[in-house]
Amino acid sequence: MLRDYNKKRNFNKTKEPIGKKSKKHKTLRFCIQHHIARKDHYDFRLEWNGVLKSFAIPKGPSYNPKDKRLAIMVEDHPLDYANFEGIIPKGEYGGGTVMLWDYGKWKPIKNTEPDFKNGPIKFEIMGKRIKGLWTLVKIEEDNWLLIKDIDEYHLYNNINKFNTSIKTGRTMAEIADISTSINLTNPDKIIFDNPKITKEEIFNYYKVVASRMIPLIKDRLISTVRAPGGIKNGTFYKKHMENIDGYLGCKKIKGEDYYYIKDTLGILSEVQMNSYEFHIWGSIVDDLNHPDILVFDLDPDEHLSLAKLRMGVKDLKKILDEYNLKSYLKTSGGKGYHIIVPIAGITWREARMISKNIAKLMSAKWPEKYTSNIKKNKRKGKMFIDWQRNIKGSTSVAPYSLRLKDKPRVSMPIKWSELDKVKPDDITMSEAIKRLKNKNPWEDLFS
Ligand code: MN
């Protein structure tokens, strides 16, 4: 039944395969394609009778048996479609980017004849990322549910973390050949005046650092700082989703739409919308209540010297080392340094307690140097160890983010041994790009 498939497509324009029915095979293929079109979704296809029976799954499959994922039956696709990865031109049916996300074999349970008219269909999948027993249940018309059965695979991690092609290893951005697909408007717009930096230069910067930046910011709710008329015309924060263009993820919290970046296209689409500075949450979107990083922001008061600031950073590291907490350093791109501590299995309440106790320990150990007292008049020339950052919903500037301050500087991950050499506002975009050739100082952050 490939008539609908062929009718919807103009094969002079799209590179998708022309629909021809194949002969029946004994072993049956399946594939899942991640398809970013008008909406972001996954296409789940099962070979049957020489065609691919096809379902669009808005949220993608889930290994959690409690998740019932809506699967909308769409037109049959030709078997060759299981090899398709690439771009469907804008304006064509399904225009967007297609990634081959998984493939392999499938079979109906007990070799029963699967009923694609009425369901339910119980089957086993033997893919690289998707395995085990699954059920498709029909609700009404074209709407079905895809449900993971309980088996030895149902406790697998969140499979949405796979964001590269199973066939070519490419990200969505690489498949789309980003120098685009996102149409950068006003590339010559001046964002910084001194030195002059254009929107296009910032766009290109993020394109280059994305491979290091994405693993650290993906799936974290973000807020961004925008400067639609360049920084001299003012900046503002943006923390709510505005339009769904398929490049960003959306999370509803208490009725409000927050958003997150999934891949390079997400960052670039934000730059296109004049967001040049990125701030991230300390927890990921699938587990918002449990932070996986603590952030200590050592930002000096007016009269504190750089030497004293660095002393503070070193003293904090000493305390963290004493408690066997691994820590990572970055410049803020402004006046301070940030110390990041990966953490697991705690709540935000506990995160706040730990941070407060660390700040208290520092002020107890070196009372002449540090205070954990939030009241400004109690500080008296001492350095304030800011422990209040680690609460649910607080954000801190993302690694590799540009800062929209007077000088165009980057919040840059550096090695601990570089603390005395690199000032908080030393790293420019071109310096950051040069540094990508060095070993990633945060390589093992989440290991
Ligand atoms: Mn699709």
Fold for the domain defined by 293-395+407-435: DNA primase, PRIM domain (3.90.920)
β-pairing, 293-298 vs 337-342, is antiparallel
From ligand 1's centre to the CA of 307, what distance in Å? 57
From ligand 1's centre to the CA of 178, what distance in Å? 20
Per DSSP, the residues of 317-366 read HHHHHHTT---EEEE-SSS-EEEEEE--S--HHHHHHHHHHHHHHHHHHS
From ligand 1's centre to the CA of 246, what distance in Å? 12
From ligand 1's centre to the CA of 98, what distance in Å? 8
Predicted TM-score (pTM) of the model is 0.69
3-state helix, strand, coil in the chain (%, to 5): 25, 30, 45
Q: What local confidence, expressed as pLDDT, does residue 178 receive? A: 62
3-state DSSP assignment of residue 216: helix
Contact 137, 62 (CB under 8 A): no
3-state secondary structure 32-83: EEEEECCCEEEEEEEEECCEEEEEEECCCCCCCCCCEEEEEEEEEEEHHHHH
Residue with tokens 């009241």: 375
Q: Give pairs for 136-140: CB < 8 Å, separation 24+.
A: 136/55, 136/71
From ligand 1's centre to the CA of 85, what distance in Å? 12
Backbone angles phi, psi at 42, to 5 degrees: -115, 140
From ligand 1's centre to the CA of 298, what distance in Å? 47
* 175-287 CATH, one of 3.30.390.30, 3.40.50.10490, 3.40.50.300, 3.90.920.10: 3.90.920.10
Query: Do the domains 175-287 and 293-395+407-435 sit in the same CATH topology, yes or no?
Result: yes
List all residues 6 or more positions away from 153 whose beta carbon is below 8 Å from its beta carbon: 63, 131, 132, 133
Q: Which helix (H) or strand (E) holds 404?
A: strand 402-404
How many other CB atoms are there within 10 angstroms of residue 244's CB atom?
A: 14
From ligand 1's centre to the CA of 42, what distance in Å? 7
Q: Which helix (H) or strand (E) holds 164?
A: none
Q: What local confidence, expressed as pLDDT, does residue 181 receive? A: 59
Q: How far apart are the first and last CA of the chain?
A: 48
Q: What local confidence, expressed as pLDDT, does residue 169 receive? A: 83
From ligand 1's centre to the CA of 12, what distance in Å? 19
From ligand 1's centre to the CA of 87, what distance in Å? 12
Tens-of-pLDDT digits for all 447 residues of the chain? 899 999 999 998 888 999 998 999 989 999 999 999 988 899 999 999 999 999 999 999 998 889 999 999 999 999 999 999 999 988 899 999 999 999 999 999 986 889 999 989 999 999 998 999 999 999 999 999 999 999 887 766 666 678 889 988 888 878 887 658 587 899 999 999 999 999 999 999 999 999 899 999 999 999 999 999 999 999 999 998 876 566 888 898 998 889 999 888 899 999 999 999 999 999 999 999 999 999 998 877 767 889 999 999 999 999 999 999 999 999 999 999 999 999 999 999 999 999 999 999 999 999 999 988 878 777 777 888 888 889 999 999 999 999 999 899 999 999 999 999 999 999 999 999 999 999 999 999 987
From ligand 1's centre to the CA of 146, what distance in Å? 16
Domain coordinates in residue numbering, the chain: 3-170, 175-287, 293-395+407-435
From ligand 1's centre to the CA of 66, what distance in Å? 24
From ligand 1's centre to the CA of 35, what distance in Å? 5
Residue with tokens 């309980």: 150
From ligand 1's centre to the CA of 43, what distance in Å? 5
Q: Which amino acid is at 174?
A: E
From ligand 1's centre to the CA of 44, what distance in Å? 9
